Amino acid sequence: MKVLPLILGAAVLAVTGSAVAGAQTAGDPAKGKTVYARCAACHDLNTGATRLGPSMKGIVGRKAGSVAGFNYSPAMKAKAVTWNAQALDQYLAAPAKFIPGNRMPFAGLPNPQDRADLIAYLKQAAK
């Protein structure tokens, strides 16, 4: 019987295709926690402590460049953006492109699903 493998193949294609097509993919906070491991050396999550970068405490809904006492780049301070899911997604995809001249030494997260998972985690955990 040759039909079954064909049907299975089509189903796999359909699933992968829809994951790629969905621009606003739903994030999985549990997976986002793993992605956050790449940020944790420089960003405290929720105590407010400064590392190389500012704390992520309350990041979702916070104005860019607004942690008092943190020595931001002029570019970050001048960026009139509030860190909602969309702005975080754009920044984390390509930090130097979204805010030219910002000083975050991080190339970005090219995978949209990684970003969606990470943002879901930040919403939940960076309080």
65 binds ligand HEC (CB under 6 A): yes
Query: 104, 116, 120, 126: which one contacts ligand HEC (CB under 6 A)?
Result: 104
For residue 61, is it left (φ>0), alpha (ψ between -120 and 50) or beta? left
Contacting range for ligand HEC; rule: CB under 6 A; set: 2-10, 12-20, 25-33, 39-47: 39-47
- Collapsing DSSP to helix, strand or coil, 32 comes out as helix
Residues near ligand HEC (CB under 6 A), total: 25
**Structure token pair of residue 31:** 């997976």
Q: How many CB atoms lie within 10 A of CB 72?
A: 17
Q: Let me know: does 98 contact 90? Beta carbons within 8 Å.
A: yes
Query: 72, 90, 112, 124: which one contacts ligand HEC (CB under 6 A)?
Result: 72
Binding site for ligand HEC (CB under 6 A): 38-39, 41-43, 52-54, 59, 64-65, 67, 72-73, 75-76, 83, 92, 102-106, 109, 118
